[in-house]
Chain A
Amino acid sequence: MLLKDIRDYQILFLGLFLVLGIGTRDWTLRPELIGVAIATSLATQWILSLVTGKEQMANLRSALITSLGLGLLLRADCWTTMAIAAAIAIASKFIFQVGDKHFFNPTNFGIISALLLTPDAWVSPGQWGEEWWYGLLFAGTGGMILQRVGRWDTTAAFLGSYSLLEAIRNLWLGWTWDVYWHRLMSGSLLLFALFMITDPRSIPNSRIGRVVWAICIAGLTFILRNYFFISTAVFWALFAFAPLTILLDVLWLAPRFSWQERETDVETLQCNVSQH
């Protein structure tokens, strides 16, 4: 049923951002490219599921989320680039697996592949503007509350450590605080923190593992952005630390996340809440 699966909320929110984004006249988002991303993702998911016989058709939801993420974040000059990014993103789930878990975030993998392999892909970190920051924040946090089992710890650890690092730098450099807030108000940073590093299928299973992992990504993002002047730093940081998931999962054993266990997770969470 609709909205029974928590991923439906994610699809709803990402879809909403896309519609609002395209609706605002000056965006560089191109609807036809988003269509290509969606079609390619779904087709790739379907074909690879058939071939490997592993995944169920229900996983088309994940493929849709991946393609919406690509549509939001990746820009390309030609549709083939978007198709390549989407196909690689989905394929990465089937290829980079340890046990039954893929460790690269598919959207992120698609973005990095397109940046590396094609000549005409880019990410526009500035295009979200500042007002969007609030919208994203409200919708995102709202979404996380709705999801309840969403990995809010990861987002909090990432945003917390990243903003702390930026605050220290700002203090040391002697910029006024409006510079600091402006640096944090990057829509793509928040979109990343709320919707990309929270994907439960590709991040460490244990809470401590996730927090360590998110802090590592925040640290690398900070270094890449401020010392190597890479505007797409967050995506590279996540890409670099994705394989760390395997190690963290071994270090801190925890039950693997599965969509079916959601009910019990919610119950546990409610128990925890009521106990406190």
Chain B
Amino acid sequence: MKFFRLLTPLLLAIVAVFCFAPAAWAFCGFYVAKADTKLYNKASQVVIARDGDRTVLTMANDFQGEVKDFAMVVPVPTVLQKEQVRVTETKIIERLDAFSAPRLVEYFDPDPCAPVYPQELSAAPAPAASNESARKRSSDASLGVTVEARFNVGEYDILILSAKESGGLETWLKRNGYKIPRGAKQLLKPYIRSSMKFFVAKVNLDKFEKSGYQFLRPLQISYESPKFMLPIRLGMINATTEQDLIVYILSPQGQAEITNYRTVKIPSDTNVPLFVKDEFADFYKSMFQTAYTKEDKKVGFLEYAWNMGSCDPCSAEPLTPDELKQAGVFWLDDNSPSDVPVSPSFRRPFPRTSVFISRLHVRYTRDKFPEDLIFQQTANSEFFQGRYVLQHPFQGELKCQAGREYKRSLPKRFEQEAQTLAKLTNWKIQDIRNKMKLSVGNLTYSWWENLFSWLGLY
């Protein structure tokens, strides 16, 4: 009997650790900066809200040039009617970007001489509390091209084409004033053969001028298909360099991942030197490039995975139910009015009303990503964020024994931070050390340490 009594709490403890530990694991600290898509001068952004076979796909245009030259050809699984296409606001994608961007947070060391109370260990005072707030038909027979639908949405003229052969489609597009890059024919063929349709959009200049919008707004399409993929091959025809693609996948379930490439978590949760605060954008770009090279340039990176009801620390407020709907989330219950503020402690009991976001960052080239991206949603409810920590040393006077020990421990910690940063970004360790001395001040190195570092040994 005694054995059993001992065993039960043990089993319970195991259950608790296995089942609930990841959910209870929380970040805190003060949010300082974010690495959003503005870092990259050409990054396509796509939002995919999907439940079962139903998909709402939002495509943000990173088009830079004369609006009259804008044209896009996207393979889609089904024929789309006017009701299935709409224009949405750029702001929604900016909101998603801001919410899910990799973030820099800072902590301040407590006074090592002050008596320690248990609650001080949690290290994140007042501002963190705000994180939890705010919840919540004509046909051209000779070419084999059929215009399945033709309509206007907002400032766009949309055509849905189906084709019998790629040469015909290419000729048709050229005749109708679309500039098709060389080599498109070869690439269009597989999509035609897999009986996909083509979503073709052009800007209606009159309407664009009348609308008063300066930039092209994102196009949003809805369809039902078991295909959960993103055609990236067409976009690589005339690309000479690496392209960045940020995919936000909104799911009622859990994390999304790529099924035909590896999905890797971006390095996260590391302490970096304080000067990174001023150059977080450079830091993140270098770190991403280093991780990308290290993985042989053929993986997709997970930058964020979180339930959209909360964030910790928040780099932007969570999206409101209205904003989520604009982003394409269609499974939210309509009976919860969006203007009623939801209390921070309230957790929605039904999974049907929840939205889980996965932010995938794919940097792709023709040689490393031969196949279009295929995704799947999983039940993985683990939270993840790209998060980098600044740990400020205690600045006050240190008079006690613990204080002296604390001070002695600092150089080692700074050195560790420097090495972490060098490893993550591939920056030169000596440059990092030099910069750290500017911001930290009181660190000196002996001549042999400098020599070793110059030799690359230290």
A-B pairs with beta carbons under 8 Å apart, 25 shown: A26-B264, A26-B265, A28-B380, A75-B378, A75-B380, A76-B379, A77-B380, A79-B15, A121-B379, A124-B263, A124-B378, A127-B257, A129-B261, A129-B299, A131-B296, A173-B189, A173-B190, A174-B166, A174-B193, A175-B190, A179-B370, A182-B260, A183-B260, A231-B374, A231-B376
Contacts of B265 in A (CB 8 A): 26
Least CB distance from A160 to B in Å reads 22
B186 at the interface (CB under 8 A from A): yes
Task: State which residues 58-80 of A face B: CB under 8 Å.
Answer: 75-80
Contact (Cβ within 8 A) B371 A122:
no
Contacts of A122 in B (CB 8 A): 376, 378-380
A186 at the interface (CB under 8 A from B): yes
Contact (Cβ within 8 A) A78 B18:
yes
Task: State which residues 5-21 of B face A: CB under 8 Å.
Answer: 15, 17-19
Q: A182-B260, A229-B227 are in contact. List 5 more A-B contacts (CB 8 A).
A: A26-B265, A80-B19, A120-B254, A126-B259, A231-B259
Interface of A is mostly: mixed
Task: State which residues 95-152 of A face B: CB under 8 Å.
Answer: 119-122, 124-131
Contacts of B381 in A (CB 8 A): 77, 120
B258 at the interface (CB under 8 A from A): yes
Contact (Cβ within 8 A) A79 B194:
no
Closest B residue by C-beta to A131: B296
Those 8 A-B pairs whose CB atoms lie nearest each other, nearest first = A120-B379, A178-B370, A174-B189, A122-B378, A173-B190, A79-B18, A26-B264, A231-B259
Contact (Cβ within 8 A) B378 A174:
no
B50 at the interface (CB under 8 A from A): no
Assess A78 versus B19: contact at CB under 8 Å? Given A173-B193, A179-B371. Answer: yes
Contacts of B380 in A (CB 8 A): 28, 75, 77, 122
B135 at the interface (CB under 8 A from A): no
Contacts of B19 in A (CB 8 A): 78-80
Contacts of B186 in A (CB 8 A): 174
Closest B residue by C-beta to A128: B262
Contacts of B261 in A (CB 8 A): 126, 129
B359 at the interface (CB under 8 A from A): no
Least CB distance from B296 to A in Å reads 8
Report the Cα distance A121→B228, complex, angstroms.
19
Task: State which residues 160-201 of A face B: CB under 8 Å.
Answer: 172-176, 178-179, 181-183, 186
Contacts of A78 in B (CB 8 A): 18-19
Contacts of B226 in A (CB 8 A): 228-229
Contacts of A77 in B (CB 8 A): 254, 379-382
Assess A172 versus B193: contact at CB under 8 Å? Given A126-B262, A182-B370, A183-B371. Answer: yes
